[in-house]
Amino acid sequence: MSLIVNVLLGLLFGIGLVVSGMSDPDKVLNFLDLAGTWDPSLAFVMGGGVLVAFIGYRVVLRRDRPLMADGFKVPTKTAIDGRLLGGAAVFGIGWGLGGFCPGPALTALGLGQPGALVFLAAMFIGFWIARLVSAGRTDMAAKD
């Protein structure tokens, strides 16, 4: 049941990415090119998404629990630290180089362009390296 719900919600999310134009790296890179061929469209994607989620979360999180889980798992970390800012900075560089963030890159999988496939494979390797680095740091902290 969870599988079906997630397929449908992933589909809705992905349709949003395609309809909005965010799934096209060319459009993303033009959004990021303030000094050149600037296309402000993607500000409207973020605006529409945040507006709906801002109102929707307020309604949903007033309930006691989700429909199909025991409780709401809302992120609880509050520290604005080097990991957060360093990670975000590195992500932004990759986003600016390829024009893909994770969601749009996944919508590109089935269309099979070589650049998208290489990006996706490398993205998963990147997840893996970050996990190894984090585990190594935790080990070192434990030894101290």
Query: Nearest distance from residue 134's CB to other proteins, in Å?
Result: 7
User: Distances from the Cα of 123 to the Cαs of 69, 89, 140, in angstroms?
Assistant: 30, 16, 26
Give me the phi and psi of 47, to 5 degrees please. Answer: -60, -50
Query: Nearest distance from residue 141's CB to other proteins, in Å?
Result: 16
Q: 112 or 143: whose CB is closer to other proteins?
A: 112
Query: Nearest distance from residue 38's CB to other proteins, in Å?
Result: 9
Query: Nearest distance from residue 138's CB to other proteins, in Å?
Result: 13
User: Distances from the Cα of 33 to the Cαs of 10, 28, 144, in angstroms?
Assistant: 29, 9, 46
Q: 123 or 142: whose CB is closer to other proteins?
A: 123
Q: 6 or 138: whose CB is closer to other proteins?
A: 6
Q: Report d(CA 31, CA 52) in Å as an integer.
A: 22
Q: 76 or 142: whose CB is closer to other proteins?
A: 76
Taking Cα atoms as reference points, which of 104, 99, 95, 120 lies closest to residue 16?
A: 104
